[in-house]
Structure 1
Amino acid sequence: MEIANSIALVTGANGGLGQYYVEALRSQGAAKIYAGARNIEKLASLVASDPERIVPIALEITDEDSVNQAASLCQDVTLLINNAGVGFNQGLIAAKDLSQARMEIEVNYFGTLMMCRAFAPVLSHNQGGAIVNMISMVAKVNLPFNGSYSASKAATLSLTQGVRAELAAQGTLVVAVLPATIDIGMGKSYPDPKVSPEDVVRDALQAVIDQVEDVYPGEQAKAMAAQLLQDPKSLEKAMAMMLPTSI
């Protein structure tokens, strides 16, 4: 499919990669962009940049009623970008309790799954379209410093593969976007190399155009993907050196 003239919905559009997705969709000619956020007031400046094409939508992806309402309102969507996510930089054993790990699973896994389930019939009605799920290379190899986030993203990668299989018959492309360190938010404090948010979004949207199911934006992600094929245990051991500070 093409990005030009598509009808897109971006979750978590008010921050992080979300605003970059909206801007890239605009520049590539999307006909309409639904910008989803829990608080639509935070979308004001983004909507003001192109009020004719950017439509704010109140959306809490962990609330099934909110998700279903969005699907009911946005029946013309052809491209769903599941961008919303949370991470708390905590270990699995070192964390003081499970509250933040539960939230990571609720948002990153169950929230993404609810969006896929709600919009699958919408995309089917609109000739298949595409789903883009923002995941991470730590879905494939755990980063103990951010261990519970890694586990939630591993679950999200698995659901992406399952949803891809289930929706293949209706012609829906399901893309997994697997960057390593992104030069945005908490990633700015991580060591180089980092990939720019613009490059992540560009590669993700190009994957939709090229019908690529798994995309690895940036040199770090590509190198990690290659190492996982050649010597996965050595990469696991290298990542294991990055432990939570409280251990």
Structure 2
Amino acid sequence: MTFDVNGKVALVTGANRGIGKAIAESLIQHGATKVYAAVRNLDSAQSLVETYGDRVVPIPFDLAQPDTIAQAAQTASDVDLVVNNAGVLKNAGPLAEDAIAALQYEMEMNVFGLMRMAQAFAPVLKANGGGALVQLNSVASIKNFADFATYSASKAAAYSITQALREKLGEQGTLVVSVHPGPIATDMAQDAGLGEIAEPPSLVGDGIVTALKDGKFHLFPDTMAKQVGGAYESFASNVVEANLMEG
């Protein structure tokens, strides 16, 4: 399966800044006719509206409030592409006093949030011909970083769910892409102390457009990600993307 964003309607969660904003911009620049900017504060997407006019439609969305996910699926009933970018990160190692609380929070947002998004939008995408779902995971979903151990664990779980979604949504003609960025220049990366090695978020936005067009499941968009992806490629193609049940 492949997917061309030109002429399509998309929804991007957390589209008001950082990677989410870059994704929304890339989709519009590559021909998307409309992008729903799913954000907690509608005013935070105003700069996108000022730049792109009515091609950007802000709608209320908060991973912490499941009812807003269901409402977003009702409002954006014409979407062909859903990009689940929103997520959270806690700087917690496995021995930190708040490690369990951090992991519980990150699992709720990064994993259960993905599952709620998929459950809400799968019927919408099916009704609109299949379309595509893009999940923002991380290199931390493959390699655990001790200072962000709980975040890495939550992203590993999200990546596992994304693999299942690839199979299940594929049955209805929906292409699934799992995105694994390294340090990207966002507020999250800055807060995590990764600002000096972070790369532009446009790498993610443009990479998603290309991965969709090429029908690729994995996307490793930046320098660190490409290093991880290169080493992971054989396992990804021969195990993750293979149907082992066929022998």
TM-score, normalised to structure 2, is: 0.88
User: Aligned equivalents of 1:127 and 1:10: distance in 2?
Assistant: 19
Equivalence for 2:207: 203
Does 2:156 match 1:154?
A: yes
Give yes or no for contact 2:88–2:109 (8 Å, CA) kept in 1.
yes
**Which residue, out of 46, 68, 71, partners 1:69?**
71
Question: Residue 128 of structure 1: CA displacement?
Answer: 0.5
- Which stretch of structure 1 is more off in the superposition, 45-54 or 31-40? 45-54
Work out which of the residue numbers 178, 187, 194 in structure 2 matches 1:190.
Answer: 194
2:10 corresponds to 1:3: no
**Aligned CA distance change for structure 1 residues 30 and 90 (closer, same or farther; 3 Å):** same
In the alignment, the residues of structure 2 paired with residue 217 and residue 84 of structure 1 have an alpha-carbon distance, to the nearest angstrom, of 18
Q: Tell me the equivalent position of 1:145.
A: 147
> What residue identity is the alignment partner of 1:72?
Q
Give distance in 1, aligned partners of 2:46 and 2:14: 14
Quote the residue 2:177 is aligned against: 175
Give the Å deviation of 1:187.
2.6
Taking the aligned partners of 1:23 and 1:191, their CA distance within structure 2 comes to 22
Query: Does the 8 Å CA contact 1:195/1:217 hold for their aligned counterparts?
Result: no
Alpha-carbon distance in structure 2 between the residues aligned to 1:89 and 1:230? 31
Question: Which amino acid is the alignment partner of residue 148 of structure 1?
Answer: T
Q: Is the 8 A contact 1:193 1:219 kept in 2?
A: no
The total of aligned residue pairs comes to 231
Alignment equivalent of 1:94, drawn from 96, 103, 109 = 96
From 42, 45, 49, give the equivalent of 1:43: 45
Gaps of at least 5 residues in structure 1 are: 232-247
Aligned to 2:52, the other structure's residue is in SS state coil
What is the CA-CA distance between 1:228 and the residue it aligns to? 4.5
Contact 1:177 1:215 survives alignment (8 Å): yes
The reply to whether residue 223 of structure 1 matches residue 227 of structure 2 is yes
Q: 2:62 aligns with which of 56, 60, 63?
A: 60
Measure how far apart 1:230 and its partner are.
8.5
Between the aligned partners of 1:26 and 1:144, the Cα distance in structure 2 is: 37
Instruction: Compute the RMSD of aligned alpha carbons.
Output: 1.9
1:191–1:44 Cα change, 3 Å:
closer
Kept in 1: contact 2:18–2:185 (CA 8 A): no
Q: CA deviation at 1:95?
A: 3.7
User: Aligned partners of 1:85, 1:186: CA distance in 2, in Å?
Assistant: 10
Q: Counting helix residues as a fraction of each chain, which structure ranks higher?
A: 2
Distance in 2 separating the partners of 1:180 and 1:36: 23
Give the conservation status (yes or no) of the 8 Å contact 2:211–2:217.
Answer: yes
In structure 2, distance between residues paired with 1:155 and 1:198: 26
Higher relative contact order (CA closer than 8 Å, sequence separation 6+): 2
Indicate if the aligned counterparts of 2:139 and 2:181 stay in contact, CA closer than 8 A. yes
User: Is residue 25 of structure 2 the alignment partner of residue 18 of structure 1?
Assistant: no
| Corresponding residue of 1:212 | 216
1:244 corresponds in structure 2 to none
Note the C-alpha offset of 1:99: 2.6
Deviation at 1:204, TM superposition (A): 1.4
| SS of residue in 2 equivalent to 1:183 | coil
Counterpart CA distance in 1 for 2:142 and 2:153 is 9
